[in-house]
Amino acid sequence: MKKLSVLLIVVSLMVVFSFNVMAQDYAEEITIYNSGGLEHDPATAKDIERFEKEYGVTVNVVEVPWQYQIDKLTTVFSSKSSQVDAFVGSYFMLTNFAMPKWLEPIPFTEEEEKRFSPGVLAASTYKGVTYGAPRMMKDTQLYYRTDLLKEAGLEVPKTWDDLVKVAKALTKDTDGDGNIDQYGFGYLGADKLGFTFRTFLYQSGGEMFDESLNPVFNSSAGVKALTFMSDLVNKHKVTPKGIISMGEGNVGDLFISGKLASVASVPPLHERILSSDLKDKASIALAPSGDVTNTTYLDGNVIFVSSFSKKKDTAIAFAKFMSNYQSSLHELVVEGNNSPNPHVFSDPEVTEKFPEKWVKVLEESVKDVKAENYPFYLQVEQTLRQEIQNALNGTKTPEKALDDAAKAIDELYSNVLGI
Amino acid sequence: MKFGKNTLDTGDNINLWQYFFLAIYIVFSIFPIYWIFITALKTPSAVLQLPVNWIPENITIENFFYVFQERPYLSYTVNSIIAAVSSTIVCVVLGTPAAYSFSRFKFIGHRFMFISVLVSRMIPPIALIVPFYTMMQRFGLIDTRIALIITYSFFNLPFVIWVMKSYFDEIPTGLDEAARIDGASKWQTFTQVILPITFPGIAASAMLAFIFSWNEFVFTLVLTLTPHAKTLPIGLMDFIADDFIDWARLMAGGLLAALPAIIFGVFFQKYIVGGLTRGAVKE
Amino acid sequence: MLKKLFDKHFHYWIILPSIFLLAFVVVYPTFNLFYTSLFMKNGQLGITRFVGLQNYQKLLFEDSKFWPYLAHTFIYVGSAVTISLILGLIISNILNKAIKFRGALRTMMLLPWMIPLVLTGITWRWIMQDIYGAFNAILMQLGIIDQSIAWLTEANSAMASVITADFWANTPFVTIILLAGLQSIPDQLYEAANVDGANGWQKFWHITLPLLKPSIFVALVMRTLFAIRALDIVYALTGGGPGSSTEVLASYIYNLGRRWLRMGYGSAVGVILLLITIMLVFLFMYILKPESVKE
């Protein structure tokens, strides 16, 4: 008995010891791919510097244009190259890279998992394995012009019906030349149409897929969501038609140039507002809620570790570091990106920088976010985007568009996955 | 060496309709560039002002400085110039003799080889990306200018051969024969008789090779990582993010990226005049 | 002795370096393209399975995307190439004449080609945009329209925008090729025609056009090759939308092979595109019969 316990102690000491040695035995340098130039990501730059200092590891950053990040990583991974150790990617890339086993699971401890809002953690997980370390997130809020609302004596819309009413009142011809030059409401279009649709879908109680991966976004909830999006453009005419071809940046441009009185957009916009002429004329509120929930869809940046990396331990340490409290705090304070970690909102640095109301809205909004991970995300997304555009420009009815999308996706799954 | 009077005289002058057409076309060509230009001169906050200001009010050249000071633009420019110029030289030096051979000599495999040259450019480039990447990786050439020079040369050589062949074809074979009768070797005929009068063709194909290399995007993106080898078009993408496009700086960066190409173009278009009947032969 | 040998096999010596270089890139990838197209190869699932010609069967008879995308490809390539060829022919003829500021005009004509394609796409997107686009602003200030039009949200106007951006960027290339070709037409021919009292149009039709055939052929084929595989402009301008109205085969291959990792299927589309390109080129050869390919 005594012998056994001594043995146990020795073994456990050895384990602890070797674990410690291993934990401190980091590689000298790792290479990470960042989406876009680092000076657009001052918070990322700052955290990388901290990591280098604390861990004594040199981090080589390769800046990849964001639209081409997936393509470039695909080339690197297809050739089984160990060139990349970790990369700053997006939640939506997860299945694309996890399915072919190009990603290394990130073994968060229970303690570490508690950092994150449950919706965000679920978005970083595929088939029960966590692959991503959430760094920041983009979820939908309502950005609106306080001056215009006040002038018209209107309240901030809380539901879809309110939104239509307010938007109608704010859509007008301000200079009297017969053309509308101020629209009441806008949402993110083009490549972000799927993003926008999912928020409306979740809000009306729908889901993208059921448990056995059948597409269910063409349910009545889905039709309701897409009909709402289409009505805003075609029936109520409070959203400019051009939105169909405008992504996050373009719609932001419209808001900043004063052509939109309100817009459902994501937190980087509030950083843009703060550095523009609209600084004192705009505010932020929770996205107007649908009949069922006020859940919003989430995307954003997450750190992934390559399974081809020869320095996995260091890369995993890096991923964990880049998603810790300090890192999320920096993303919020330095870049204005919403934090997957709800604890940072009470940090003095946050309350000092942002108006109290903004912080409250962001904090509230993080609590109710959702994203589903399903196979062939990119291909599903393209089909969905195409059909949403068909519905919005009147080529198809919302029902037909969603049914066609569901059919195409069903075919894809049964053809390729055999389900 | 002067290239004689620098116009081809067909005996007509330009009529009014042609002037009119040319004017419209030039306006169409210049307008988007004017738009790029005035945007580059605006302050970031003035860029999105509506209605559109066709003549910017508060002009600033800060965007141009920003591009050079805050971005590794200098090294992008150097990489672009080295890669494009080197591959242009490779293409012209290798391609011109090959084109001459295709144009003048009939030999075994002649037709097959020429068709192969054509077909080599018809393969969808997407099919080449992964093989190229793997090959460059094996030779340790990822993120080097050499990889770019090799790639650009591969891509532009068929074009140069082709353009030059069509150009040689337009030159009467009588010139060659006369030289041969005078006792010149084939090499001498080529270098001393034919080559000097093909200057316009060489200038045009050099321009093609240069501009295609200068603007190459997909392969450069895959083959480069850092400012060691990144070129201007890739560097330009840094101004585009999904949350917003830094319009003023993007446009300033774009103009700076085009500038060396424009200088190159201005220089070479001068040589695309007067070929066969005047030019160097007479000198 | 060596010299003599060099002279005897001169045609081979000067051709070999190029052929050697090209063979290096052509042989393996082409073989690989055909080979891969016979497999079901999915990078997402890690599957590689020999399926023979099934990919082609699926593509031609079952795929609801292939035929529409092929049609878009033909519309896009056909219009962009035709327009740029006609424009290039006219402009090169004008700019070849004695005209004031010819150097400056030629340079201006060249400018669009010098702008990096990524910037071309994104600038045209901005110009064609609803509400704050420059094109709408011009039309409104000229009083042609009174409400801005969302050009990129309707199938036809989106395709027209893409085509416009394409020939805007590429006409200078055609012009340069033709301008170089025009230089080799001997003056004597025009002088003789002048003696015969031919007018400008007759000279263009009977002298310029026939003698320019080799250059026209080169310009036509090269433009077609580039347009058929072009994605930069399409992607920057419309992203393939609205709906799938500006998706072309090149973007389909790109998505299949590089994003969705259906390499086998993507290769099959690639083979089809290669065959279409070859057929087109032979068709051009047959129609134009340029000396440069006829032995």
d(CA C215, CA C180): 8
Quote the pLDDT of residue C117: 87
Query: Scanning the structure block, which residue is given the tokens 């960042």?
Result: A34
Q: How does residue C46 score in pLDDT terms, banded at 50, 70 and 90?
A: confident
d(CA B200, CA B272): 4
User: Angle between the C155-182 and C66-95 helix axes, to the nearest 10 degrees?
Assistant: 40
* DSSP H/E element including A255: helix A248-256
* pTM for the whole structure: 0.89
Question: Quick check: A335 pLDDT over 80?
Answer: yes
Long-range contacts of B241-244 (CB under 8 A, 24+ apart): B241/A36, B241/A40, B241/A66, B241/A249, B242/A66, B242/A67, B242/A191, B242/A247, B242/A248, B242/A249, B243/A248, B243/A249, B243/A252, B243/A266, B243/A268, B243/A269, B243/A272, B244/A248, B244/A249, B244/A252, B244/A253, B244/A268, B244/A272
pLDDT digits (tens, 9 = 90+) for A293-314: 889 999 988 999 999 999 999 9
CB-based contact C177:C219 (threshold 8 Å):
yes
β-pairing verdict for A58-64 and A29-35: parallel
Question: Quick check: A6 pLDDT over 90?
Answer: no
d(CA B206, CA A41): 40
Find, among A309, A386, A362, A264, the residue nearest to A102 by Cα: A309
* Chain B: touching chains (3 or more CB pairs < 8 Å): A, C
Question: Quick check: B113 pLDDT over 90?
Answer: no
Question: Quick check: B71 pLDDT over 70?
Answer: yes
β-partners of residue C47 are: C42
d(CA A190, CA A192): 5
β-pairing verdict for A29-35 and A86-90: parallel
Q: Would you identify the CATH topology of the domain C37-288?
A: MetI-like fold (1.10.3720)
Query: Scanning the structure block, which residue is given the tokens 């004594």?
Result: A56
Which one-letter DSSP state was computed for residue B279? G
If DSSP codes are grouped into helix, strand and coil, which group holds residue A41?
coil
Considering Cα of C187, then B274, then B97, then B136, what sign does the dihedral take?
negative
CB-based contact A309:A319 (threshold 8 Å):
no
Quote the pLDDT of residue C292: 46
Q: With contacts defined as CB-CB under 8 Å, which chain C residues touch A392?
A: 153, 242
Which one-letter DSSP state was computed for residue C198? -
- Alpha-carbon distances, residue A358 vs A107, A248, A297, A364, B263 (angstroms): 33, 20, 19, 10, 51
Q: Is B222 within 8 Å of A40 when comparing Cβ atoms?
A: no
* Two tokens, residue A171: 């859509």
C49 touches chain A (CB under 8 A): no
Q: How does residue B183 score in pLDDT terms, banded at 50, 70 and 90?
A: confident
Q: How does residue A11 score in pLDDT terms, banded at 50, 70 and 90?
A: low
**Cis previous bond, C242, omega within 30:** yes
Q: Which of B7-11, C29-33, C252-256 has the lowest mean pLDDT?
A: B7-11
d(CA A166, CA A223): 23
| Amino acid, single-letter form, for residue B267 | F
Question: Quick check: A326 pLDDT over 50?
Answer: yes
Across B86-95, B130-139, C118-127, C285-294, the highest mean pLDDT is recorded for: B86-95
A331 touches chain B (CB under 8 A): no
Quote the pLDDT of residue C124: 93
* Two tokens, residue C8: 């005897």
Q: pLDDT > 90: what percent of chain B? A: 26
d(CA A335, CA A36): 14
B131 touches chain C (CB under 8 A): yes
- C192 vs B146, residue with greater confidence: B146
Quote the pLDDT of residue C33: 87
Compute and round to an integer the Cα radius of gyration of chain B. 23
β-partners of residue A29 are: A58
| Structural domain spans, chain B | 66-281
pLDDT digits (tens, 9 = 90+) for B207-231: 889 999 998 988 998 899 888 899 9
Quote the pLDDT of residue B273: 65
User: Mean per-residue pLDDT for C52-79?
Assistant: 93
Considering only CB atoms, B265 lies closest to which of C7, C114, C214, namely C114
* Interface residues on B facing A, Cβ-Cβ cutoff 8 A: 45, 48-50, 70-71, 129-130, 133-134, 137, 142, 221-222, 225-226, 234, 237-238, 240-245, 247
pLDDT digits (tens, 9 = 90+) for C83-114: 999 999 999 989 888 777 888 888 889 899 98
Quote the pLDDT of residue B8: 46
Q: pLDDT > 70: what percent of chain C? A: 97
CB-based contact A189:A246 (threshold 8 Å):
yes
First-to-last CA distance in chain C?
31
Contacts of A307 (CB under 8 A, 6+ apart): A101, A102, A103, A104
Quote the pLDDT of residue A313: 92
Q: Which CATH number fits domain B66-281: 3.50.50.60, 1.20.810.10, 3.40.605.10, 1.10.3720.10?
A: 1.10.3720.10
Q: Is B137 within 8 Å of A81 when comparing Cβ atoms?
A: yes
Considering Cα of B149, then C223, then B125, then C26, what sign does the dihedral take?
negative
d(CA C41, CA A206): 34
User: Mean per-residue pLDDT for C204-233?
Assistant: 88
Question: Quick check: C293 pLDDT over 90?
Answer: no
d(CA B261, CA C116): 10
Residue in chain C lying closest to A93 (CA)? C259
Considering only CB atoms, C254 lies closest to which of B32, B120, B126, namely B126
CB atoms within 10 A of CB B28: 15
* Two tokens, residue B74: 């200098």
Strands (E), B25-110: none
Written in H, E and C, the secondary structure of A303-368 is EEEECCCCCHHHHHHHHHHHCCHHHHHHHHHHHCCECCCHHHHHCHHHHHHCCHHHHHHHHHHHHC
Considering only CB atoms, B8 lies closest to which of C28, C114, C183, namely C183
Count of CA atoms in the C-beta half-sphere (13 A) of B32: 27
Question: Quick check: B281 pLDDT over 60?
Answer: no
pLDDT digits (tens, 9 = 90+) for A92-125: 899 989 988 999 999 999 888 888 988 899 999 9
User: Mean per-residue pLDDT for A84-89?
Assistant: 93
Find, among B247, B238, B236, B239, the residue nearest to B39 by Cα: B247
Considering only CB atoms, C238 lies closest to which of A75, A180, A245, namely A245
Question: Quick check: B5 pLDDT over 70?
Answer: no
pLDDT digits (tens, 9 = 90+) for A168-203: 999 988 877 777 889 999 999 888 999 999 999 999
CA B75 to chain centre: 20
* Chain A: touching chains (3 or more CB pairs < 8 Å): B, C
| Structural domain spans, chain C | 1-26, 37-288
Compute and round to an integer the Cα radius of gyration of chain C. 23
DSSP structure string for B25-42: HHHHHHHHHHHHHHHHTS
> Which of B218, B220, B242 is the mutation pick for testing A, counting most A CBs within 10 A?
B242
Domains in chain A (CATH in brackets) are 20-137+300-370 (3.40.190.10), 140-298+375-417 (3.40.190.10)
CB-based contact A276:A222 (threshold 8 Å):
no
How many angstroms separate the CA of residue C115 from the nearest CA in chain A?
19
| Amino acid, single-letter form, for residue A279 | K
Quote the pLDDT of residue A13: 60
- Say how many residues make up chain C: 295
Q: With contacts defined as CB-CB under 8 Å, which chain B residues touch A276?
A: 45
d(CA A314, CA A306): 11
pLDDT digits (tens, 9 = 90+) for C175-201: 988 988 888 777 788 888 888 888 888
How many angstroms separate the CA of residue A271 from the nearest CA in chain B?
10
Q: Which of B4-18, B179-193, C264-278 has the lowest mean pLDDT?
A: B4-18
Q: How does residue A275 score in pLDDT terms, banded at 50, 70 and 90?
A: confident
Question: Quick check: B236 pLDDT over 90?
Answer: no
d(CA C263, CA A241): 37
Question: Quick check: B2 pLDDT over 80?
Answer: no
Count of CA atoms in the C-beta half-sphere (13 A) of A366: 27
Q: How does residue A218 score in pLDDT terms, banded at 50, 70 and 90?
A: very high
If DSSP codes are grouped into helix, strand and coil, which group holds residue A87?
strand
